[in-house]
Amino acid sequence: MRYYFFFLLTLLTACSGLERSEQERMRRVNAKAEEIYRLKGEKFLTIEIPKKRKREQYSFEKYTIGNHPRITKEYFRCRGSAKNPSVMLKKNTKNAICHFDCGGYDKHSLPVREEKEYIYPVLIDLLNYIQEKTQKKVVITCGHRCPVHNVYADASKKNQSSKHLIGAEVDFYVQGMEQCPKEIVDLIMNYYENVEEASYKSFARYTSADSNVSINPWYNKEIFIKLFDKNEGRDFDNNHPYPYISLQMRYDKLGKKRVLYSWHQAFNGFMRW
């Protein structure tokens, strides 16, 4: 039996070897040689030398400027929080009112315009421009304020018509340049140098006594720049030791109208949940 098995194995192996050699013979018979007529150095296609080009940004890099995240409308959300302790609005009187802060961005939106949350784009662009030019972080201390947080932060009568309520004002300072806010004001003016309209390029000084700052503010057609010294303009949101800058919208370029405080917009122009 064992011998029969070995005989069969040998026979099969021999057959497959025979088949392979036959295939090789047929391949050689049918093979056709083709001569190469191309001369040395002759090229069918000319390949251009690759040029070095700048690498395209990854999607996550588009959200940064230098080492800092790009500022978006999310940075303008109300700084109120239900965890903040209550404040007494009329101290040392029998009619003192206990006022609680709002629930913050968990409880309400930014101002809404055309069914979307809206912050004036030029405010965002200006802050990103400052970050890009200084390579330093812009710290927004106050963007949008809902009416409840606005009273909580500063209950003075003058503050009740603040443009923070309609998303048209922002307070900020630049980390690492806290003591040189004038340089930041100059940068803001530089931003407008490439704008065609002369009314945007030229800045005037606001000299009226009602500005509540020691340094006269600057303004062009679109924005109003206020520089608060380290002892000025302190409230709950600006409770830090640095001078800071406030940018207010004066004119809405897209809507082609002046930006004015409106009670209706301030109290009904955002969503609560």
Q: Which residues bind Zn ion (CB under 5 A)?
A: 78, 80, 102, 146, 149
How far, in Å, CA of 152 to CA of 205, rounded?
31
CB of 190 to Zn ion, least distance (A): 34
Beta pairing partners, 223 = 249
User: Which is nearer to Zn ion, 146 or 225 (by Cβ)?
Assistant: 146
CB of 80 to Zn ion, least distance (A): 4
User: Which is nearer to Zn ion, 227 or 266 (by Cβ)?
Assistant: 266
Own/partner long-range contacts of 220-225 (Cβ < 8 Å, ≥24 apart):
220/192, 220/250, 221/197, 221/250, 221/251, 222/122, 222/192, 222/249, 222/250, 222/251, 222/253, 223/122, 223/126, 223/188, 223/247, 223/248, 223/249, 223/250, 224/248, 224/249, 224/250, 225/185, 225/188
Helix axes 181-191, 121-134, angle to 10 degrees: 120
CB of 145 to Zn ion, least distance (A): 6
User: Which is nearer to Zn ion, 71 or 142 (by Cβ)?
Assistant: 142
User: Which is nearer to Zn ion, 151 or 227 (by Cβ)?
Assistant: 151
User: Which is nearer to Zn ion, 181 or 269 (by Cβ)?
Assistant: 269
CB of 87 to Zn ion, least distance (A): 14
CB of 106 to Zn ion, least distance (A): 10
Residue (of 256, 203, 258) closest to 225 by Cα position: 203
